[in-house]
Homo-oligomer: A and B are copies of this chain.
Amino acid sequence: MKYHRSSKAARRSGGYDPDALISSYDLKADEVSSVKKAVLDAVKPHPAERARLEEARERLLKEVAEAAAGLGETEVYPVPVGSAARSTWLRGNHDIDIFITFPETLSKEELTVRGCAIAEKLAETADHREDRHSEHPYIHIRKYGFEIDLVPCFRVPDASCIKSAVDRTPFHCRFIKERIAGREDDVLLLKQFMKGAGVYGSEVRNRGFSGYASELLVIFYGSFDEVIKAAAQWKPGVFIDIMDHGNVSFDDPLVMIDPTDPGRNVSAALSLDRFMKLADHARAFIRRPDVSFFFREKTLPYSDEEILSVFEKRGTYFTAIRFRSPKKADDTLYPQLFRMENSVRETLENNDFKVIRTLSYGDDEECVILIELLSGLLPPVRVKDGPPVSAHPNSDAFREKYVAAGDTYSIFIRNGCYIAEIPRRYRTPESVIRDKTGTEIALGKHIREALSDGWDILSGEEILKIGSEGFRTALRETMERTLPERSCAGSEIIIG
């Protein structure tokens, strides 16, 4: 998608021109102060939590340094990163991230082997350990009551010459720490507000705002209030370049040039809908400030009765493709699921089916692509639009084909074009899906492999066979998706 790029002045202000703000989306500081206080009371870490975390972090840094020394590593420095390192974590979000930095002269393999060897030393005394993997392997442990990631990375001169995606993180952390002092509460409020809007989290499945993006927004606009006022006026194409050093252009709805890397958009993973959702949420909040905007309802999974009732109430046709999960991380699985979901929709629409909603779901056990259609049965006759009669000699081929075909219902001229009425090949969505999956319905590598073990098409009541709570929760969210002032039927508000 290509958005209009606004003037330099507007670009530097992230599409927000305070002079143009007539008052329609002004935020009265006094009106919201009690709301903000209540939210902070709920989400700001207690002093005791903060002290415990800081103490744990210091011990861990010391342990990494000692382990490195014990292994004869001389140029290894541990660096605390993440929200815990910059005091912008939400209460109870007990994650400590420690990056074990090595000189960039190492190979990736050496980095991983030597970094994990150091991490293993700490894991020996941990309550729990796990091997994890992003671009390269790292180790996750539980110790001193905290969840801890110990991640080997390269120490590079600046973020534009990273050797591995994680190498950027220490630069982000330093940039934020140098500027966020005194505005940590604004970051907590914004993160929680994003959670309330359902737009927090930049993983592929969610396509929302990252923690780093929320911190940059507070630094750029100045405070939580100013972010809200600006977001209320966002249109796709907002451009934010704090260091005024961006050197590439992007077509994303929100472009935030990474202050540590002029070639990167921090919000590249943000979807148009999550972006506009925050704008919508900000406008609604400005109109009627309330604590509820910060706390998203927890959706409960649909029961069998609820699924049948929603099918009945909507009166549409539901069909689902189900298969055993390829058991990949969400960031690998979901792009393939989304691609399949889009391809299923397009293929059905190319065959005259009217698709109302689609939903992708995947967990460790199973994956589901659910499709809601206007109808599950099309008539036997199909109208095939041909070329203009005047586009001869090419139009002759269309004419000859359907004049000659024994099963043509009729062939005639409408609006100057040939029209043939022919027998319909696919009268049901199931027959399209059965015939086209793996060909016209494109499949990613892992889903293709998973399908080779077999797969189901479940229609109507058969969908009740899908027992997964995750799927049934996603189904309710899809069917009852609403803006903040309306509630899902089966949900309970979760504070914190």
Contact = CB atoms under 8 A, between A and B. Distances in A.
A315 B413 CA distance: 22
Interface residues of A, number: 52
Contacts of A411: 481-483, 486
Interface in A212-244: 232-236
Nearest to A234: B390
Interface stretch (A85-93, A99-107, A113-121, A273-281): A273-281
A483 B276 contact: no
Interface string A380-393: 11010000111011
Contacts of A380: 313-315
Contact of A381 (B315, B416, B482): B315
A410 B481 contact: yes
A486 B412 contact: no
A13 interface: no
B390 A279 contact: yes
A283 interface: yes
A396 to B, nearest CB: 7
B273 A416 contact: yes
A468 interface: no
A415 interface: yes
A458 interface: no
Contact of A374 (B314, B379, B485): B379
Interface in A229-288: 232-236, 253, 272-273, 275-277, 279-280, 283
A414 interface: yes
A483 B314 contact: no
Given A283-B396, A412-B481, A481-B412, A316 B272 contact: no
Interface string A386-407: 0011101100100100010000
A356 interface: yes
A412 B356 CA distance: 13
Contacts of A415: 272-273
A66 B396 CA distance: 59
A283 B392 contact: yes
A161 to B, nearest CB: 36
A126 interface: no
A290 interface: no
A409 interface: yes
Q: Which of A277, A316, A389, A412 has the most CB of B within 10 A?
A: A389
B413 A235 contact: no
A125 interface: no
Contacts of A236: 390, 416
**Most chain B beta-carbon neighbours within 10 Å: one of A232, A273, A316:** A273
A389 B280 contact: yes
A80 B396 CA distance: 44
Contact of A413 (B273, B313, B379, B486): B273
Nearest to A279: B389
A403 B486 contact: yes
Nearest to A414: B273
A332 interface: no
Nearest to A392: B283
Given A24-B393, A236-B390, A483-B403, A413 B277 contact: yes
B479 A314 contact: no
| Among A25, A276, A356, A403, residue most surrounded by chain B Cβ atoms (within 10 Å) | A276
Contacts of A277: 389, 413
Nearest to A354: B354
A494 B392 CA distance: 30
A63 interface: no
A473 interface: no
27 contacts: A24-B392, A25-B392, A235-B390, A236-B390, A236-B416, A253-B416, A273-B414, A275-B416, A276-B389, A276-B390, A276-B413, A277-B389, A279-B389, A283-B392, A314-B381, A315-B379, A356-B381, A374-B378, A403-B482, A403-B486, A408-B482, A409-B480, A410-B481, A411-B481, A411-B482, A412-B481, A412-B482
Given A314-B380, A316-B381, A374-B378, 16 more contacts: A236-B390, A273-B414, A273-B416, A276-B388, A279-B389, A280-B399, A280-B413, A315-B379, A315-B381, A374-B379, A409-B479, A410-B479, A411-B481, A411-B483, A412-B481, A412-B483
The 4 closest A-B pairs by CB, nearest first: A315-B379, A235-B390, A276-B389, A412-B481
